[in-house]
Structure 1
Amino acid sequence: MKTESKSRDEPLRVVLVELRFFARRLRREWSTNVPEITFAEATLMSAVTARPHPTAVDVAADLQIDKSTASRQIAVLEQRGLIEREAAPGERRAQWLRLTPEGRHILQQSDTVRIEAIRDRVSDWTDAEVTQFADLLRRFNARSS
């Protein structure tokens, strides 16, 4: 192991511990503050909005989950009236996904609740620190895809 790598070990352990803590807290708070949809459902619904005409295959790839898992979650959201399917023109089997008006409303509400929670956590940060945090998270997540 290189010397510079060893010098990173402790901060990387801290990152790992903090990410685990963050993930547990986020899921716990999500179920309390956003009872209409689970964290996984909100993540999938957000992935549907990230592309103009996503398919289940697109959503599975974007979320790095198995297509069968994505299909099951999509079916549940479709049954609840939060997602709808539309035949993709010119393609026999492909179906585009989109949020229903109710789905868009619930996702927007959940995003508002989560943004407020984040705003509270960074309330004593400068605008520059918030921007830097956003930039670093974006960079970190871009490397993991």
Structure 2
Amino acid sequence: MPVHESEVVPADRQWAGEQIEREMLILMRHQEMSSPRRLGGAEALDRSAYVLLNRIEAQGPMSVVDLVDAFGLAASTFNRQTATLLKHGLVERTLDPDGGIARKFRITDKGRERVKADRDIVVEGLSKVIAEWAPERVERFVDDLRQFNQDIERLTGRHWPR
């Protein structure tokens, strides 16, 4: 079977992929170590709740099917996660604002407050990291990171609302 040119990864791209993988691994470890929960915030959200609430906050009410489409995970995962969020009053069930039959999950004021509190801690930590960067470097980094994420979204078909 012939190899198509698009299937071959040039050595420099292979090297770049390896470097990006390593740096992302380290970044995820730093993120985990500096999470609000890890820094002593007893009321801090766990990672999955933080991500899920951020998505619902950004997109608006979402059904389990919407969440499955957005994240590519099993419905059972979201049934479990939304049950926990409901129990803690961070989301509420609501009718589909578009008239569909599926119930949707909407972030509550309490959920919004909890996400904001955690986000404030994360943003403060990130702000310290870039405190001495030149404004142009910060803008370039934000632009490159956004483009990187958008390219992943384009390839996976799972877009994050901005």
Q: TM-score range by the shorter chain?
A: 0.7 to 0.9
Contact 1:122 1:130 in 2 (8 A): yes
Superposed, 1:1-145 pairs within 5 Å as 5-30=10-35, 31-33=37-39, 34-35=41-42, 36-88=44-96, 90-92=99-101, 94-145=102-153
CA RMSD of aligned residues (A): 2.2
Cα distance in 2 for residues equivalent to 1:135 and 1:44: 24
Q: Deviations over 1:3-60 (max 9, x none)?
A: 9821233332221111011112212221313442111110000011121332222223
Contact 1:87 1:96 in 2 (8 A): yes
Q: Deviations over 1:87-118 (max 9, x none)?
A: 225333x1121111111101001111001111
Gaps of 5+ in 2: 154-162
Matched to 1:59, the amino acid is L
**TM-score of the aligned structures, taking structure 2 as reference length:** 0.79
- How many pairs align? 144
Contact 2:53 2:115 in 1 (8 A): yes
Cα distance in 1 for residues equivalent to 2:30 and 2:103: 35
Matched to 1:77, the amino acid is L
Relative contact order higher in (CA < 8 Å, ≥ 6 apart)? 2
Cα distance in 2 for residues equivalent to 1:119 and 1:110: 14
- Offset at 1:86? 0.5
Gaps of 5+ in 1: none
Task: Describe the SS at the equivalent of 1:50.
Answer: helix
